[in-house]
């Protein structure tokens, strides 16, 4: 059971402000007691939900509803301000761990509820859901739509942050914890040498060796990307022997192509691969076509270009993912393009 004296330690741990030794000590403390780790994961899910920006009205949705009720016809297009995560209460509009530490005791009762139920923070266009999946031999499936995300706490305390338009299936059989993923997710795995944790995505197998890592494998993409934030993983093609896996360490990016060839980049900046978990779009010399796909999934809109050549142009950008108009502006401004919004359609020309 987590005591009141532990809240400050957890606040520093959740905010990533611990030293390496403090983080190792905290993780050992959590791992020593499964019930303590589970309670901490519930607190972390609520902590993550609380740091989202304050609520903003979605004027497009509101005006469309009013116009429909008044029989005005097609409403005039307005600038889209997508709904951000609705705070649980006014207390939760935090920006730093220092301003949040005092409120952690208030989360304990919510965490107790979360231990036996599903906690949702539901939004107009985006959803952060904290869900608990008990350990079982029957597979559990979790889905997010375009414009949605979910945080899933598995029965062993492992935590998965599931990206937009993604599907995750989890089951445990023959002593192996197996996950099938289509889309994008960040895994924070409770390592167990007797129960391997394996992620299958497209033609890739990623096996946890005690780590935090991301996997990206959207349908239609020609490769699977695995980035290791800490610890190690083994990456190999489906059907290959486990001994043939390519080992990835901290800040390594492993890429498996459609024919099963793996390449590794060392010393990769984590910013790009973890930015979506912090509500930011970060791209480095990236095709506009790839950026558009990501933005479309995030905001659940359709984006078209008047000239296919635009899709092959490349830009670098780092912007908050709060406003569609702000993100589109970051794409069009450096290329001297312009955009027009027509309901849920954006045209770049």
**For 249, which DSSP code?**
-
Q: Is the pLDDT of residue 162 over 90?
A: yes
Rounded to two decimals, the pTM is 0.62
- For 172-190, write each residue's pLDDT tens digit: 888 899 999 999 999 999 8
**Ramachandran area for residue 328 (φ above 0: left; ψ -120 to 50: alpha; else beta):** alpha
CB 323 within 8 A of CB 299: no
Between helix 104-114 and helix 34-50 the angle, nearest 10°, is 110
pLDDT-derived band at 202 (thresholds 50, 70, 90) equals very high
- Angle at Cα 133 formed by Cα 131 and Cα 135, nearest 5°? 165
Q: What pLDDT sits at residue 109?
A: 41
pLDDT-derived band at 5 (thresholds 50, 70, 90) equals low
What domains lie within the chain, and their CATH numbers? 1-52+87-117 (no CATH), 119-277 (2.60.120.1440), 278-348 (3.55.50.30)
Residue 172 — φ and ψ, nearest 5°? Answer: -125, 125
Residue 38 — φ and ψ, nearest 5°? Answer: -60, -45
Q: Is the pLDDT of residue 274 over 60?
A: yes
- Euclidean distance between CA atoms 156 and 42, whole angstroms: 13
pLDDT-derived band at 30 (thresholds 50, 70, 90) equals confident
pLDDT-derived band at 287 (thresholds 50, 70, 90) equals very high
Q: How many CA atoms lie within 13 A of 99 on its CB side?
A: 8
224 strand-pairing partners: 256
Q: 103-117, 148-162, 176-190, 335-349: which range is least confident on average?
A: 103-117
Instruction: Please indicate whether residue 141 or residue 53 has the higher confidence score (pLDDT).
Output: 141
Q: What pLDDT sits at residue 74?
A: 39
Residues 6+ apart with CB under 8 A from 262: 235, 236, 237, 246, 254, 255, 256
Q: Is the pLDDT of residue 115 over 80?
A: no
Q: What pLDDT sits at residue 130?
A: 57
């Amino acid at each position: 059971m987590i005591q009141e004296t532990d809240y400050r330690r957890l606040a520093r741990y959740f905010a990533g402000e611990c030293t390496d030794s403090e983080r190792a000590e905290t993780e050992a403390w959590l791992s020593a007691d499964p019930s303590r780790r589970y309670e901490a994961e519930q607190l972390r899910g609520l902590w993550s939900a609380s740091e989202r920006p304050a609520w903003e009205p979605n004027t497009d949705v509101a005006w469309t509803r009013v116009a429909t009720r008044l029989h005005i016809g097609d409403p005039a297009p307005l600038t889209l301000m997508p709904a951000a995560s609705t705070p649980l209460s006014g207390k939760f509009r935090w920006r730093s761990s220092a301003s949040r530490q005092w409120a952690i005791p208030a989360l304990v009762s919510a965490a107790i509820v979360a231990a036996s139920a599903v906690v949702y923070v539901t939004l107009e266009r985006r959803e952060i859901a904290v869900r608990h999946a008990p350990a079982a031999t029957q597979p559990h499936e979790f889905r997010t739509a375009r414009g949605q995300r979910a945080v899933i706490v598995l029965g062993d305390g492992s935590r998965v942050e599931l990206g937009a338009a993604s599907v995750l299936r989890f089951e445990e059989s023959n002593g192996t914890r197996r996950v099938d993923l289509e889309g994008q997710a960040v895994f924070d795995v409770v390592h167990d040498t007797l129960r391997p944790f394996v992620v299958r995505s497209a033609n890739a197998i990623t096996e946890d060796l005690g780590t935090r890592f991301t996997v990206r494998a959207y349908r239609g993409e020609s490769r699977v990307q695995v980035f290791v934030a800490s610890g190690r993983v083994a990456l190999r093609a489906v059907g290959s022997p486990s001994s043939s896996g390519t080992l990835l360490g901290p800040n390594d990016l492993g890429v498996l192509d459609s024919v099963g060839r793996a390449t590794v980049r060392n010393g990769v900046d984590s910013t790009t691969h973890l930015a979506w978990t912090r509500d930011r779009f970060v791209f480095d010399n990236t095709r506009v076509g790839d950026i558009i796909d990501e933005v479309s999934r995030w905001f659940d809109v359709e984006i078209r270009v008047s000239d296919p050549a635009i899709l092959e142009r490349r830009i670098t950008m780092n912007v908050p993912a709060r406003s569609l108009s702000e993100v589109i502006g970051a794409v069009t401004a450096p290329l001297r393009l312009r955009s027009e919004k027509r309901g849920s359609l954006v045209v770049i020309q």
